[in-house]
Structure formats: structure tokens, C-alpha cells
Amino acid sequence: MKDQLIEKILNHQLFYCLVFIVIVFSVRAIALVLIKRKMTSDVMDEHQRRMVWRVKQYTFIVLIIGVFLIWLPDIKHFALSIAAFAVAIVLTFKELILCLTGSIWRTTTDAFTVGDWIEIDNVFGEVIDNDWFSTSIAEISPASGSYKCTGTTVNVPNSLFLSHQIKNLNFKRRFIFHEFDLSFESTVNPLPLKEQLEKIVDAHMADHHELAKRYHAHIRKHIGVSILELEPKISLKTTNLGDFVIHLRLFCPVHDSFGLQEKITEDILKLHFQNSEATSSMISNNN
């Protein structure tokens, strides 16, 4: 009797299913350990994160296919019963189904992968992990004065891919169109400042010009359409209060963008106040 019970358990699909799951997760754990052993620091690089992502994705696919094949004979017998509960299942697992659909859409369209910079639902950052249900994004906030990760991780359900616009900003990882404004009172003539600013910008951008030119051409070739001009753009505008604003757009390295903004601002302000002091001195001498 006992032998028959053991034989029945060993021949049951549930036993095969449990053994298969244990084997798959054991292989997955070994693969992840091997990847982490190759780490040269306490933080995984982009290649290692992609390897971890691939292991998790392939594990899930193999698991689903394997479990399905194991239970296929029983599924055939209960096909009609499953159809009767299909509506209930869809309603119960609606969000999970949407997440799976969003993941399938992302995979088939190749919208992004681990390591890309994306923006979705006002979240901007680097994709550090992705599975069939959610995507983990290391947030990047330019408002903090840097294009480095803030330390905040945002987990986004894959269902958002079906209802929100996704921007793949991976080209911004090296060069970026960085824009900022310089404001002056309405009593200041902005035209001399603009002329001086053009010289200052050219001097600061000279070291990056050749590399920026090559990367700009690479982006155009990759996207297949024309993009914003490579050369710095300097334009004048006014505020509602009547003040003058000089708007600048630079195509510059990401890691130097805020540094260039600070240096250019310092140089133009230095010239501005030097001219203001010289003008004040001349007025005083005339008096």
C-alpha cells in the first residue's frame, strides 16, 4: 500500500512540476552567483545588469513553457471548464494580464532594454531591471544639478506601456542638448552681452567640438531623421516684467553640462559687472 502511494505520487504531474521548478530556480541561482562573482566592484556595470535581466527573462519563459507541457494532458481534459471560467479569470487578473501584455509589447517593439535612459509617466532615469510585470528605474533628476542617479528607484508596472508615452533617451547618456537662461534687468543692453557670450561659448565648447560633431552624426544616422543643430544656439527674449533673457542651447557632454553652464554664466557676469563698473566710473569722473 505504501509503495503504491509513493509510486502514485512519483507519477503525478504535481511531483514533476515541483521537481522542474526546483531545477529551474537552482540553475537560475547558480547563473546569478556566477555573474556576481565577476563583479569588479560592489556595483554591477551595465553589461552585468543586462546579463542578470536575460537570466531572469529566460528563466520565466522556460518555467511557463515547462509547466504548461507538464500539465498539458490535464489541460486538454479541462479545456471546456477553463473556457467557462475565462471571463472570471480575466476580471480577477486584469492588471496582471495588462502587465504581461505591456511586457510583450515592449519586447516585440524593442522600445528599450536594461541600461537605457527612458522617460515614462514623468519618471526619468536608467532602466536597471525589467521582468514580465514591472520595470525598475534608477531616477535621474536634472533639477538637482547633475545627470547622475539620485539614489531613488521607481518601480513602474508594465501596464503603463499601453497607456503612456515612452521616451527612449539613451542618446543622452553621452551628449545632450542642454538649455539654460541668463536674465538681466531691462536697463541693460543685451546686444553687447550676446556678442560677448558667443565668444565665451565658442571658447568653452572648442574642446568638445570634434567629438560632439561625430556623436551628432551618429545620432542622426541611428534615428534616421534630422535633429537640432550641432552649433550653440543663443537667442534673446523678454519676460512678462520686461526683463531681458538670453537663452542658450548647447550640445555638450552630459558630465560637463552643468559645469559648462556655471563657467559660461560666471564669465558673462564677470564681463557684465566689469562693464557696469567701468561705466559708473566714467560717469563719476565726468561729474
Between residues 157 and 77, the one the model is more confident about: 157
Q: Any idea what the Cα angle at residue 116 is, between residues 114 and 118, rounded to 5°?
A: 115
Whether 16 and 27 share a structural domain: yes
Pair 99, 133: CB distance under 8 Å: yes
Degrees, nearest 5: CA angle 233-238-241: 155
pLDDT higher than 80, residue 127: yes
Give the model's pLDDT for residue 268. 85
pLDDT of 96 reads: 84
Same domain, 148 and 178: no
Residues 39 and 167 in one domain: yes
Per DSSP, the three-state class of 124 is strand
Instruction: For residue 272, list its beta bridge partners.
Output: none
Q: What's the confidence (pLDDT) of residue 85? A: 64
Which element (helix H / strand E) includes 171? none
CA dist 137 and 119 (Å) reads 9
pLDDT at 98 over 70: yes
Domain that holds residue 30: 2-171
| Beta carbons within 8 Å of 197's beta carbon, 6+ residues apart | 182, 234, 246, 248, 264, 268
Does the predicted model carry a pTM greater than 0.95? Answer: no
User: Tens of pLDDT along 148-163?
Assistant: 788 888 999 998 988 8
**Residues 162 and 185 reside in one and the same domain:** no
User: pLDDT: is 236 or 88 the higher one?
Assistant: 236
pLDDT value of position 238: 85
Name the pLDDT band for 2 (thresholds 50, 70, 90). Answer: low
pLDDT at 123: 87
Count of domains forming the chain = 2
Torsion angle of alpha carbons 180, 185, 191, 195, nearest 10°?
A: -50
Q: Would you state the pLDDT for residue 37?
A: 79
Q: Please indicate, yes or no, whether residues 117 and 149 belong to a single structural domain of this protein.
A: yes
DSSP code per residue over 199-234: HHHHHHHGGGHHHHHHHHHHHHHHH-S--S-SS-EE
The CATH number of residue 254's host domain is 3.30.70
Averaged pLDDT of the chain: 80
Query: Which of the listed residues 171, 205, 234 is the one where a domain comes to its end?
Result: 171
Query: CB of 127 within 8 A of CB of 137?
Result: yes
Mean pLDDT (whole number) for 34-52: 75
Alpha-carbon distance of 237 to 70, in angstroms, equals 69
pLDDT at 225: 67
**Mean pLDDT to the nearest integer, 37-60:** 78
